[in-house]
Amino acid sequence: MPENDIPLIEDIEIVYPPSPAPWGMIILGVCAFLVLVTLVVLAVILLRRRKRMIVTATMPQRQTLARLTEAFNKWQQLGYMVFMFEVTWIIRLYIADRFSISAPFRTADEIIEEVSTAGAINDQAKYGLQLLFERCDLIKFAAEPTIPDEVGKLYETAKDFVHNTAWRP
């Protein structure tokens, strides 16, 4: 090097020409970004749909209360025996939907035992369910006579059971 510290052309090492743009990496980055955006959009859509399904699947009390009211309004036309069958069937379906127990295919004692051991209901609801099943079974299978006031009490007992065990968000 000369004395004034200015490099000469001969002293400059090999300079490489500018490299071409890394198109492969750019395209790969854009594709990865698009895939990521697509996955996020799909996840949001699925979570929204799942949330709607959970809400409708875990709130059977509305339908149950409507069916109980409908059965109670028609009990005088159909007779108390049919009403008892309707009420116990509606409650069995409610228990199946609410607690995921195959209640329609079990005896009343089996249902009460399974719901109790699972810790799904409190003592008040358990007592109401026992009372409802025992009285309805006596009327259905032992042909024990009933009075209109008792039909109303059993209807209220069924409604109270649904209210006490209803899913609350």
CB count within 10 Å of CB 161 equals: 24
Same domain, 65 and 21: no
Number of domains in the chain: 2
Same domain, 74 and 156: yes
- pLDDT, residue 42, reads 93
Same domain, 16 and 37: yes
Contact 142, 134 (CB under 8 A): no
- pLDDT, residue 58, reads 52
Same domain, 48 and 86: no
Q: What is the DSSP string of the chain?
A: --TT-PPPGGGS---PPPPPP-HHHHHHHHHHHHHHHHHHHHHHHHHHHHHHHHHHHT-THHHHHHHHHHHHHTHHHH-HHHHHHHHHHHHHHHHHHHH---GGGS-HHHHHHHHHHTT-S-HHHHHHHHHHHHHHHHHHHS-----HHHHHHHHHHHHHHHHHH----
Same domain, 81 and 50: no
In a domain, residue 76? The reply is: yes
- pLDDT, residue 136, reads 85
pLDDT-based confidence at residue 41 (cuts at 50, 70, 90) = very high
- pLDDT, residue 116, reads 84
- pLDDT, residue 152, reads 87
Between 126 and 54, whose confidence is greater? 126
Token pair of 18 as six digits: 């500018």
Cα-based angle 96, 153, 147 (whole degrees, multiple of 5): 120
Side chain identity, residue 8:
L
Q: What is the pTM of this model?
A: 0.63
- pLDDT, residue 53, reads 54
Asked if the model's pLDDT at residue 155 lies above 70, the reply is yes
Same domain, 74 and 149: yes
Same domain, 31 and 43: yes
Same domain, 85 and 159: yes
In a domain, residue 33? The reply is: yes
Nearest by Cα to 63 from 44, 43, 91: 91
Same domain, 88 and 136: yes
- pLDDT, residue 90, reads 92
Domain range enclosing 159: 61-165
How confident is the model over 88-103, as pLDDT tens digits? 999 999 988 888 888 8
Rounded average pLDDT over 42-62: 72
Same domain, 87 and 144: yes
